[in-house]
């Protein structure tokens, strides 16, 4: 097998960066030297360029003839789209993963999902720990940015927990899936399907290899598959900090404010979403109508879990009523929790906004959650993230409305799914034009990294303010 083009130079360059001791023990000259110095200038920039390089390497591998089931090379734009979707753990596909790609192509996608879900810096740190290499301050700062932590204290210890929890949960999920799939397929295929779907669902990627774009629709009434997949999605979407907090609960006997907000908001969104979906789809003959009551409840629960950036479906999304599709758009926009494998504006951001509204209505000054006051900076950040996200979704939707010949709700659904790194689609993905594919690729990339991380990587570092302007007043509302 031959990896041609820019694949080898990029792979070599990435390895040089990841294996460098602190950025000073490698000699970089010429073009590589300039790129390296630009890359390490700030942690957000390192994350952005690092993810971009991983995507380009993945696209190069997926474009090889060996990656397709027919032995024909894949168009570059389709390979790039799939690599971006896998690395950004989204799940939107322009070709069917189960039938189009060979075993080699599917394994490449699986590796991209794992690297993208845990983060390439997490994987690099894991290798560094195995090699007993010191983790430099700059690398700790990048890990802090990648894991969305407030400080670098205990960051390497957290990385070990992240990898440990991921492997244990994915292994347990793979065993559960394999046991069930043994009734439908050969043992070897059952094991392979179990591993692939466990890794995909825990990382909230939404890729499946069931074939013909059907996802888990053939298992709509199967509680074993539904509950296993839902549990993997929920655990992956809670965030590794929350998982660590839950694992230490027996010793500490208390949860952090962050964990309380994440758990309560996640539970509320799943419950509320399931109720709304059940109400609107209960009599829909194209979705839940023919199902018995037990299966309707299971399907409503699963479809409420899936928009939390997982992108797996047991019901035909295109056949859902418009009211259901709209509530799924809202759930996709909110997304998962910070430090998780999911996207969206995050549950804590939504909780901070709800708290701010409640504070204003009650005439209070401080936003209080679980008897803790939120710093004003946190509320401002929540508002900034939300407005940033709304602006991105609006702009992308307007552009696609001119490039794609489809109705508005379908386009809004696709854009929100890409930004939230969800992967659910009403059928637009396979019909996207070249311009549409590029827009969705950009939205998936921004959604995985976060709009603030991208803006910090591009914008110059702000200087220190030497004065404050005089206070002014405007009329609001």
- Is residue 57 included in any domain, yes or no? yes
pLDDT at 316 over 70: yes
**Token output for 423:** 């992967």
Collect all residues with Cβ–Cβ distance below 8 Å to 230 and sequence separation of at least 6. Answer: 301, 302, 305
- Is residue 193 included in any domain, yes or no? yes
Q: What is the largest CA-CA distance in the chain?
A: 73
The dihedral over CA atoms of 204, 210, 213, 215, expressed in degrees to the nearest 10, equals: -40
Cα–Cα separations (whole angstroms), residue 374 to 288, 308, 366, 378, 384: 42, 25, 7, 7, 16
Q: Which residue has the higher pLDDT, 321 or 41?
A: 321
Q: Rounded to an integer, what is the distance from CA 192 to the centroid of its chain?
A: 23
pTM of the model: 0.85
- Is residue 2 included in any domain, yes or no? no
**Token output for 411:** 């386009």
Q: Specify the range with the lowest mean pLDDT, choosing from 42-46, 317-321, 366-370.
A: 42-46
**What mean pLDDT is predicted for residues 10-21?**
47
How does pLDDT run across 446-470, given as a tens digit for each residue? Answer: 888 876 666 655 555 555 667 777 7
**Cα(192)–Cα(170) distance, integer angstroms:** 13
**Angle between the 120-130 and 155-181 helix axes, to the nearest 10 degrees?**
100
pLDDT of residue 18: 46
Q: Which residue has the higher pLDDT, 138 or 233?
A: 233
Please state whether 366 falls in left (phi above 0), alpha (psi between -120 and 50) or beta: beta
- Is residue 46 included in any domain, yes or no? yes
> Which of 8-22, 205-219, 337-351 reaches the highest mean pLDDT?
337-351
- Is residue 106 included in any domain, yes or no? yes
- Is residue 474 included in any domain, yes or no? no
**Cα(415)–Cα(425) distance, integer angstroms:** 9
pLDDT at 95 over 80: yes
SS3 381: helix
Q: Specify the range with the lowest mean pLDDT, choosing from 44-48, 95-99, 386-390, 415-419.
A: 44-48
pLDDT of residue 30: 59
Percent of the chain at pLDDT > 90 equals: 43
- Is residue 440 included in any domain, yes or no? yes
SS3 24: coil
- Output the average pLDDT for the chain: 82
pLDDT of residue 218: 86
Is the alpha carbon torsion for 54, 59, 60, 61 positive or negative?
A: positive
Give the residue among 291, 289, 328 at the shortest CA–CA distance from 312.
328
> Which of 25-29, 103-107, 163-167, 202-206 reaches the highest mean pLDDT?
103-107
**What mean pLDDT is predicted for residues 304-328?**
90
Task: Give the model's confidence band at 4: pLDDT under 50 very low, under 70 low, under 90 confident, else very high.
Answer: very low
Task: Give the model's confidence band at 6: pLDDT under 50 very low, under 70 low, under 90 confident, else very high.
Answer: very low
How does pLDDT run across 179-213, given as a tens digit for each residue? Answer: 999 998 899 999 999 999 999 999 888 898 887 77
pLDDT of residue 186: 92
Percent of the chain at pLDDT > 70 equals: 78
Q: How many CB atoms lie within 10 A of CB 68?
A: 20
pLDDT of residue 150: 58
Tokens 């296993």 correspond to 228
**Cα(374)–Cα(121) distance, integer angstroms:** 30
**Cα(191)–Cα(178) distance, integer angstroms:** 5
pLDDT of residue 339: 77
Structural domain count, the chain? 1
Q: Which residue has the higher pLDDT, 172 or 148?
A: 172
Task: Give the model's confidence band at 103: pLDDT under 50 very low, under 70 low, under 90 confident, else very high.
Answer: very high
How does pLDDT run across 417-442, given as a tens digit for each residue? Answer: 999 989 898 989 889 999 999 999 99
pLDDT of residue 241: 81
Pairing of strands 372-373, 368-369: antiparallel
CB 449 within 8 A of CB 427: no
pLDDT at 23 over 50: no
**Cα(137)–Cα(143) distance, integer angstroms:** 10
The dihedral over CA atoms of 282, 197, 339, 60, expressed in degrees to the nearest 10, equals: -120
- Is residue 168 included in any domain, yes or no? yes
Task: Give the model's confidence band at 21: pLDDT under 50 very low, under 70 low, under 90 confident, else very high.
Answer: very low
SS3 81: helix
Boundaries of domain holding 251: 7-458
pLDDT of residue 436: 93
Which pairs with CB-CB distance under 8 Å and at least 24 residues apart come from 210-213?
210/98, 211/96, 211/98, 211/99, 212/96, 212/98, 212/99, 213/93, 213/96, 213/430
Which pairs with CB-CB distance under 8 Å and at least 24 residues apart come from 383-391?
383/353, 383/356, 384/452, 385/345, 385/346, 385/349, 385/450, 385/451, 385/452, 386/345, 386/349, 386/353, 388/451, 388/452, 388/455, 389/333, 389/344, 389/345, 389/419, 389/451
Cα–Cα separations (whole angstroms), residue 186 to 102, 110, 180, 191, 337: 18, 21, 11, 9, 37
CB 113 within 8 A of CB 200: yes
Collect all residues with Cβ–Cβ distance below 8 Å to 327 and sequence separation of at least 6. Answer: 273, 276, 277, 280
pLDDT at 22 over 50: no
């Amino acid at each position: 097998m031959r990896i041609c083009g820019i694949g080898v130079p990029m792979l070599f360059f990435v390895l040089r960066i990841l294996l460098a001791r602190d950025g000073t023990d490698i000699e970089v000259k010429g073009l590589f030297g300039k790129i390296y110095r630009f890359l390490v200038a700030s942690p957000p920039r390192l994350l952005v360029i690092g993810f971009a390089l991983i995507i380009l390497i993945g696209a190069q591998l997926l474009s090889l003839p060996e990656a397709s089931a027919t032995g024909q090379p894949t168009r570059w734009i389709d390979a790039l789209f799939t690599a971006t979707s896998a690395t950004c753990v989204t799940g939107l596909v322009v070709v069917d993963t189960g039938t189009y790609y060979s075993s080699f192509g599917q394994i490449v996608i699986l590796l991209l999902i794992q690297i993208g879900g845990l983060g390439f810096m997490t994987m690099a740190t894991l290798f560094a720990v195995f090699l007993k290499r010191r983790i430099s301050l700059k690398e700790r700062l990048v890990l802090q940015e990648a894991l969305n932590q407030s400080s670098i204290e205990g960051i390497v210890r957290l990385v070990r927990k992240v990898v440990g929890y991921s492997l244990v949960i994915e292994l347990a999920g793979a065993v559960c899936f394999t046991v069930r799939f043994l009734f439908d397929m050969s043992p070897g295929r059952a094991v392979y399907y179990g591993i692939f779907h466990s890794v995909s669902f825990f990382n909230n990627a939404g890729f499946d290899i069931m074939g013909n774009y059907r996802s888990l629709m053939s298992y709509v009434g199967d509680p074993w598959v539904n509950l296993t997949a839902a549990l993997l999605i929920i655990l992956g979407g809670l965030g590794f900090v929350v998982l660590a907090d839950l694992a230490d609960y027996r010793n500490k006997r208390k949860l952090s404010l962050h964990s309380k907000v994440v758990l309560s908001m996640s539970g509320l969104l799943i419950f509320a979403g399931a109720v709304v979906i059940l109400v609107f789809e209960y009599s829909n003959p194209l979705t839940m109508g023919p199902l018995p009551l037990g299966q309707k409840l299971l399907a409503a629960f699963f479809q409420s879990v899936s928009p939390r950036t997982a992108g797996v479906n047991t019901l035909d999304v295109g056949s859902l009523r418009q009211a259901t599709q709209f509530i799924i758009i809202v759930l996709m926009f909110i997304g998962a929790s910070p430090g998780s494998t999911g996207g969206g504006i995050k549950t804590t951001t939504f909780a901070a906004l709800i708290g701010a509204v409640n504070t204003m209505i009650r005439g209070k000054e401080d936003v209080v959650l679980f008897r803790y006051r939120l710093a004003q900076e946190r509320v401002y950040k929540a508002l900034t993230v939300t407005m940033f996200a709304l602006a991105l979704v609006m702009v992308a939707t307007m552009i696609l409305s001119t490039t794609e010949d489809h109705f508005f709700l379908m386009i809004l659904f696709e854009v929100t799914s890409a930004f939230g790194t969800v992967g659910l689609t009403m059928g637009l993905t396979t019909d996207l034009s070249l311009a549409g594919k590029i827009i969705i690729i950009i939205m998936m990339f921004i959604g995985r990294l976060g709009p603030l991380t991208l803006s910090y990587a591009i914008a110059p570092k702000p200087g220190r303010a030497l004065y404050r302007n005089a206070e002014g007043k405007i009329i609001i509302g």
